[in-house]
Every structure is written in C-alpha cells, then in structure tokens.
Structure 1
Amino acid sequence: MDLSYNETQGMLRETLARFLADTYDFESRKKMLASPEGRDPGIWKAIATELGLTCAPFAEEHGGMGGGALENMIMMEEFGKVIAIEPWLQTVVIGGGALKHAGGALAEATIPAIISGDCVIAFAYAEPQGRYNLADIGTTAKADGAGYVLNGHKGVVYAAPWATHLLVTARTGGGRRDRAGVELFLIEANRPGITRRDYPTVDGFMASEVYFENVAIPGEALLTGGIELIERVVDEATMAVCAEASGIARTMVNQTVEYTKQRKQFGQPIAKFQVLQHRMSDMFVEAEQVSSMALMGTLKLDEAAEARKAAVSMAKAKVGRSLKFVGQNAIQTHGGIGITMELAIGHYFKRGTMIEGQFGSIDHHLERFETLAYPA
C-alpha cells in the first residue's frame, strides 16, 4: 500500500511549512501570546487569503480543493511542529466539518466565509459535569415559534475570544444523558444574552467560559444530524489533534537530540552517553508510532460509525501514551531548564499534555474501544 502524499498534498505541506518557518519562530510566538489578543490575526488571514490553504479540505462546489481529513491531518501536523495557536481545529476541522456533513443553506453560506478567513468558529460543547459524555448536556434550546431560546453554560471553549460564530451543543428534548434530543447549532458569537469570561490556557491558547441567558436563535441555525453528527465531528477533531501530536512529538525528539549534542558533562557532549542514546532511540520510535496511529485513524474516518469510533479510540489511546513518553523524557533530558518559559521544549510539553486529555483521555478511549471491540 502506497501511503505517500500525492503532488497536491505535498505542495500543501511545503507551502504551510515554509510560511510557518518564516512567521512562527519561538520568539514570535511568545510575542503573540503576550499581546492583548493572544495571537496575530494577520497570520490567520494570510493562511486563508495569501496562501489559500483554508480551502484544502472543502468540496469544489463550496470553493474548495476537494480534499478532506487527510488534508486536515497534513495541516495539523505542520501546526504542531511550531505549536501554532491558529484556530484551524476549531474553525476548519470542527466547524467546517459539521457544516459539510449537515449540508443545506447554512453550509452554503458559511463555508465560503471560512475559506476566506472571515468566519472563525469556536466549538462550545464541554460542560463541567459532562466529562467526555457528549450527551451529558445541561444547556437547553427550547422551541420558541420558528426558533429557539438557548440557556446554559459551556466551559473551556477554545478560540471563543476570537470567534465570529459559536458551534453549540444543546438539548431540545429528553432527559440528561439521553442521546435523543441533543442537537447542534451555529450562531453568531455577538448575539444578545451571550457573555464570556476569557482566559489563557496552559498551552498558550485563549479560551472562555461561555454563558447563554435567553439567547434567541433562528430555526435555520440548527444543523441536522443530532448526536451522530456531533460524534462524527468530534472523532474527526480527535484525529486532527493526533496529527498535531505527531508534529509535536517529532519536534521534541529533534530538539532533545540537538540539546544533547550541545550540553557537555565530564568534558564531552551528553549525546555520547549510551544511556541517553537508548532513551532518544526509544523517543524516536514512540514519535513514529504517533505518526502512524494518526494516519491510521484518519484513514478510517469514512468507515461505518462503529468501525470509525473503534479506530479513533485505538489511535487516541496510543497517541496519548506515546506523546507522554516522548514529552516526559524530553523534559528529563533537558533537566530543570526544560520547564522554563525561556526554552521552547517546555511549551511543546504543555501542549502535548493538554492533547492527552483533549476529546477523551487514554482511559476513556481504552474503555470505548473495549466496549466497541468486545460488546457484552
């Protein structure tokens, strides 16, 4: 089986890699994080308009290049290599993915705005009591004439401070944790009744606690598909962060190898110590496994729901374990300097640590895989 990228995919990778090399060095990233907005909006606009990369995973009828999950994987791996804080995951993978699968007038109107860089979407799905159960939702969307009234609270909404739109999960009926009655809505982020409490996350992003109080939304804001649509989009997002993890793991290995060549002990570089050579060899193997599992899971995203879920959970569990191994050994090899703000490796470790729990921890995905592979 030939798993190499085609010419177009290779061009996408090279284009983004060159751009990030010029604009996303470590010092530039630190300046972005220290700015009031927590990013440079011009970079996202350049990715969309000057490079035209946001069109990659969308169909040609929407102005895209006809790509999909593989193109998202390529982009996310490159973002991971520089721990970019751009909202590709939230806007293109999750928001764009939900619109592609749901279709309809809302997709026709919104996808071109995503491609142009004018629409930034934040995914408001997590609630304090919900853990990783996508159906455990307290936020309600009650029918009101031709529309709905939204009430509730969503936590740790990545990219919400920058968002023009919110993709919100809410319950239109049924009891708590019931799969029936869970729906997905795309609404403008500035609607009356929406308030936010913004804060930086440990991995450098901006997120918000978002509160909805009697927010009136039109009926056309509903994306058809229910809980099955939400699960599919979250599985696609899970594989996207696995691809990001691949870029992070590779970079941590490379930075650790370079550090051991420069750091001297007992009159010689510590890279000559056999025990560290063994450690770095193990780190390399685990980083390669992250890449392999990210690709495997991505290739399974179009399969039937049960097979897709099993593949995603298998991949995420392995990626979580391998990424933790690479990150912890990278920090240990660097010593105390590895966790300082001045050294890049600590920032990669923080983002990797957040990825371990994003869209489901190792234990969660092992349990889901066991349930799917060995049903009672």
Structure 2
Amino acid sequence: MNFDFSEEQQMLKDSVARFVQDEYDFEARNKVVANEAGFSDENWQKFAELGWLSIPFAEDLGGFGGGATDTMAVMEEMGKGLVAEPFAASVLMFGGLLQASAQSEERDALIAAVIDGSLQGAVAYAEPQSRYELKDVKCAAKVEGDTYRLSGEKSLVLNAVSANKIIVSARVSGDQNDEQGIALFLIDADAEGLSKTALRTMDAQLVANLKLENVPAQAICGADEGLAMLQQMRQQLIVALAAEALGIMEKLNATTLEYCKTRKQFGVAIGSFQALQHRMVDTFMAAEQFKSILYRAVCSIEQNESADSIEINVAALKAMLGKAAKHIGGEAVQLHGGMGMTDELDVGHYVRRLLSINAAFGDGDYHQQRFANLSLAS
C-alpha cells in the first residue's frame, strides 16, 4: 500500500513546516502563548491567507475539500512547532460540527467566516461531572417562544475566551445519562446570562469554564442527533490530535538525539554509550509504531470502513498514544537530565502538550477499555 502524500498534501505539509521554521521558533511561540488571547491574531489571519482554515470544509462551501489525510499532514507539522493557535478548536471542532449540521444560509455564512478568519468558534461539550462521557449532560434546554434557553455548566472549553460563537450540547429530554434527548445549540459568546472563568491548562492553553443562566440559543440539529454528531467530532479530533502528537514525538526524538551527540560525560559524548543508544532506538520504534496505527486509523476513515471498524481503530490509536507519549516524553526528560525539567528548555513544554493530548476525549486507559469492549461487541 502506498502511504506517500499526494503532491498537494506534500505542498500543504511543507507550507506549515516552513512557517514553523521561519516564523514560529520556541521564543516566538512563548511570546504568542503569553498574551491575553493565548495566540496571535496576525498568525491566524496568515493561516486564512494560506488557505489552512479551509482544509476540512467541502468545496461547495468554499473549502479545500480535504479529508483525514490532509488534516493529519497539517497537524503533524503544527505539533513539531507547538503551534498554539486554535486550529483544532475553531476549525476542526466548531467548523466540523457546523458542517455536519442542517444546511441553511446562516450555517454557510458562518463557515465562510471561519474560513476567512473573521470568526472563531468553540465547542462546549464537557461538564464538571461528565469526565469522558459525551452522553453525560445535565445542561438543560427549554423552549421559550421561538427560541431555546440554556441553563447549566460547561468545563474546560477550548478557545471560549476568544470565540465569537459557541456550540453547546444540552439536554431537551431524558435523564442525565440517556443517549437520546441531546441536541446542539449555537449561542453568542457575549450572550446575556453567559459567564466565563478563564484558566490555563498545564500546556499553557487558555480555556474557560462556562455558566449558563437562561442563555438564548438556536438549535443546529434535531433533539436526538446531538450525541451522534459529538461522537463523530470526537473521532475526527482524536485522529487530528494523534497527528499533532506524532509531530511532537518526532521533534522530541530528534532533539534528544542531537543532545546525546553533543553532551559530553567522562570526555565523550553520552550518545556513544550503548545503553543510551538502546534507549534512543526504543523511543524511535515507539514513534514508528504509533505512526503505523495512526495511518491505519486514517485509512479506515478515508476508505469509509464500517462505523464499528473505525471506532475500534480510533480507540486503539488513543490507547497507543497514551503509552507512546509516556515513554517518549519520559525518556526525553531523563536523557536531558535536570535541563529537561526547566521552562527555559522546550522539551518540558512538548511533554506537557503530549500529556494534555493524552487526556483529551479520554486517556489511554479509558480507550484501551473501549477498544476491548468494542472488539468483543464486534
């Protein structure tokens, strides 16, 4: 099977790599993360001009018409640069749900605004008690005249501080853990009754907890369609974040190998010690194994395999991500010695991002159990 990128995909990958190399070194990235928004508006507009924000959208919506492979190519290079701009949160999550929602002129206009960079979005799906369960929803939606009103809480919403619009999951019927009765709603980020509490995650991402009190909202799907749309979004995001994690793993391996070649102990480079050579081979193999299962998951999506097969592959991917991230990240920190724990060195920042990716949408242990359950069921 040919795993090479197409000419267009390679050009896309190279354009992101050039941006990271020329304009997004570690010092520039730290300055971007430190500002109030947690990213650069200038960089975001550049992403729009380069066409990156159009990648996952259909051509008839003004998009690139890309699939999982195109997204993988972009996210891998963004991972190598620890790019902080909210590509996943605004384009893949918010934009992806918009594209999957009922067709309307308003939807198409919102997608066009996402593509040109004039609008940013966020998705509020997690709640304080829900952990990794998308169906655990207490936020309630009640009909009031021609609109809905949302009341409840949402946790750790990516890009909520900078978003213009937010998609919120809320329950229109049923009990807290029922799979039916969950719908998705669109709200203004500055709507009356909505309050935000901003905080930083361990990888310096800016997120917010939301409290909703009778917030006016517009439904973007049917009353029983919300959970299925969220599950599809999770599937796509796990693959995209896995590609970002692969870029981080490759960067950590390259950085650690270079350090082992230059750091001297007892008058020789530590890379000449056979024990350390074996450890570097192990981390290289861990990254290659992870890449293989990532490609398997992407191929299953691109080839439209059965829903069960795709879910099994994605669960296996996330379970392997947890193992590979812990191994490669831990070795990178250890082989750099005390320097590996400092904020002045990029290694610790890459490792913290890996740990955050592992926790997103369920950690490795959670998905290992999902893989076992799905495999038995199939």
- 2:10 counterpart residue number: 10
Deviation of 1:224 after TM superposition, in Å, equals 7.9
2:357 maps to 1:355: yes
Deviation of 1:222 after TM superposition, in Å, equals 6.7
Give runs of aligned pairs for residues 310-325 of structure 1, distance below 5 A: 310-325=312-327
Q: Which amino acid aligns with 2:172?
A: T
Q: Which amino acid aligns with 2:206?
A: M
- 1:102 counterpart residue number: 101
Give runs of aligned pairs for residues 104-183 of structure 1, distance below 5 A: 104-105=103-104, 106-183=106-183
- 1:48 counterpart residue number: 48
Deviation of 1:374 after TM superposition, in Å, equals 0.4
Structure-2 separation of matches of 1:241 and 1:117? 21
Structure-2 separation of matches of 1:222 and 1:195? 26
Deviation of 1:223 after TM superposition, in Å, equals 9.0
**1:327 and 1:220, CA in 2 relative to 1: closer, same or farther beyond 3 A?**
closer
2:263 maps to 1:263: yes
Structure-2 separation of matches of 1:222 and 1:260? 56
**1:70 and 1:91, CA in 2 relative to 1: closer, same or farther beyond 3 A?**
same
Structure-2 separation of matches of 1:186 and 1:281? 48
The alignment partner of 1:184 has SS state of strand
Deviation of 1:53 after TM superposition, in Å, equals 1.5
2:53 maps to 1:63: no
Q: Which amino acid aligns with 2:334?
A: Q
The alignment partner of 2:336 has SS state of helix
Aligned residues: 375
TM-score normalised by structure 2 residue count? 0.96
Identity of aligned residues (%): 39
Post-superposition Cα deviations, 1:64-117, rounded to whole Å, max 9, x if no partner, equal 122122211111111100111111111111112212222411431221111101
Deviation of 1:220 after TM superposition, in Å, equals 5.3
Q: Which amino acid aligns with 1:249?
A: M
Structure-2 separation of matches of 1:361 and 1:221? 29
Q: Please, which moves more after superposition, 79-88 or 303-312?
A: 303-312
Structure-1 separation of matches of 2:322 and 2:271? 27
Q: Please, which moves more after superposition, 251-260 or 180-189?
A: 180-189
State whether residues 20 and 81 of structure 2, in contact with CA within 8 Å, keep that contact through their aligned partners in structure 1. Answer: yes
1:339 is aligned, of 338, 341, 346, to: 341
State whether residues 179 and 227 of structure 1, in contact with CA within 8 Å, keep that contact through their aligned partners in structure 2. Answer: yes
**1:196 and 1:222, CA in 2 relative to 1: closer, same or farther beyond 3 A?**
farther
- 2:200 counterpart residue number: 200
State whether residues 310 and 369 of structure 1, in contact with CA within 8 Å, keep that contact through their aligned partners in structure 2. Answer: yes
Structure-2 separation of matches of 1:328 and 1:369? 25
Structure-2 separation of matches of 1:241 and 1:199? 21
Structure-2 separation of matches of 1:120 and 1:224? 26
- 1:295 counterpart residue number: 295
Structure-2 separation of matches of 1:256 and 1:190? 45
State whether residues 77 and 246 of structure 1, in contact with CA within 8 Å, keep that contact through their aligned partners in structure 2. Answer: yes
- 2:217 counterpart residue number: 217
Q: Please, which moves more after superposition, 295-304 or 111-120?
A: 295-304
**1:111 and 1:250, CA in 2 relative to 1: closer, same or farther beyond 3 A?**
same
**1:219 and 1:237, CA in 2 relative to 1: closer, same or farther beyond 3 A?**
closer
- 2:87 counterpart residue number: 88
Post-superposition Cα deviations, 1:288-335, rounded to whole Å, max 9, x if no partner, equal 122222222122234332222111101110111111110001101111
**Which segments of 5 or more consecutive residues in structure 2 lack a partner in the other structure?**
none
Structure-1 separation of matches of 2:215 and 2:120? 20
**Which segments of 5 or more consecutive residues in structure 1 lack a partner in the other structure?**
none
2:372 is aligned, of 350, 370, 373, to: 370
Structure-2 separation of matches of 1:222 and 1:186? 13
Structure-1 separation of matches of 2:354 and 2:219? 39
Q: Please, which moves more after superposition, 189-198 or 298-307?
A: 298-307
State whether residues 146 and 218 of structure 1, in contact with CA within 8 Å, keep that contact through their aligned partners in structure 2. Answer: no
Structure-2 separation of matches of 1:219 and 1:202? 33
Deviation of 1:218 after TM superposition, in Å, equals 3.0
State whether residues 137 and 171 of structure 2, in contact with CA within 8 Å, keep that contact through their aligned partners in structure 1. Answer: yes
- 1:307 counterpart residue number: 309
**1:346 and 1:220, CA in 2 relative to 1: closer, same or farther beyond 3 A?**
closer
- 2:71 counterpart residue number: 72
Structure-2 separation of matches of 1:339 and 1:132? 29
Give runs of aligned pairs for residues 230-249 of structure 1, distance below 5 A: 230-249=230-249
The alignment partner of 1:300 has SS state of helix
Structure-2 separation of matches of 1:188 and 1:46? 25
**1:305 and 1:145, CA in 2 relative to 1: closer, same or farther beyond 3 A?**
farther
State whether residues 313 and 369 of structure 1, in contact with CA within 8 Å, keep that contact through their aligned partners in structure 2. Answer: yes
Structure-2 separation of matches of 1:92 and 1:300? 22
